[in-house]
């Protein structure tokens, strides 16, 4: 069983329709059945395994200060790696 309680996601159905969900939506996959709701364990929507195709996980909201600092450091490291290759 896969569970996420803090990440937003995109649900793609078999027919190609896509639905985006925010951080407030809890989800669980149990035996192929996708369960959705506002509280973990209190599911208001059940999606049959024959109706959904993929879940794409991602973060939503503003980046925290620590996340921005990590991204900036990673970018700086990548830039420095490129400079080293030129010499």
Angle, alpha carbons 58-19-3 (nearest 5°): 50
pLDDT tens sequence across 10-23:
999 999 999 999 88
Average pLDDT score over residue span 26-46: 94
* Residue pair 9/56 in contact by the 8 Å Cβ criterion: yes
For the chain, how many structural domains are there in total?
A: 1
**Full residue range of the structural domain in which residue 48 is found:** 2-62
Assessment of whether the complete model's pTM goes beyond 0.95: no
Confidence of residue 6 (pLDDT cuts 50, 70, 90): very low
Asked if the structure places residue 57 within a domain, the reply is yes
Burial (Cβ within 10 Å: 0-12, 13-18, ≥19) of residue 43: middle
* 86, part of any domain: no
**20, part of any domain:** yes
- Section 39-65 average pLDDT: 82
Tell whether 10 is covered by a domain. Answer: yes
Assigned domain for 38 exists: yes
């Amino acid at each position: 069983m896969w569970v996420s309680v803090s990440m937003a996601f995109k649900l793609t159905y078999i027919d190609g329709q896509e639905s985006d969900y925010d951080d407030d939506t809890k989800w669980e996959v149990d035996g192929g059945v996708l369960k959705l709701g506002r509280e973990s364990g209190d599911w208001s929507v059940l999606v049959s395994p024959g109706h959904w195709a993929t879940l794409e996980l991602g973060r939503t909201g503003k980046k925290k200060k620590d996340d921005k600092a990590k991204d900036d450091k990673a970018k700086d490291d990548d830039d420095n790696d490129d400079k080293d290759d030129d010499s």
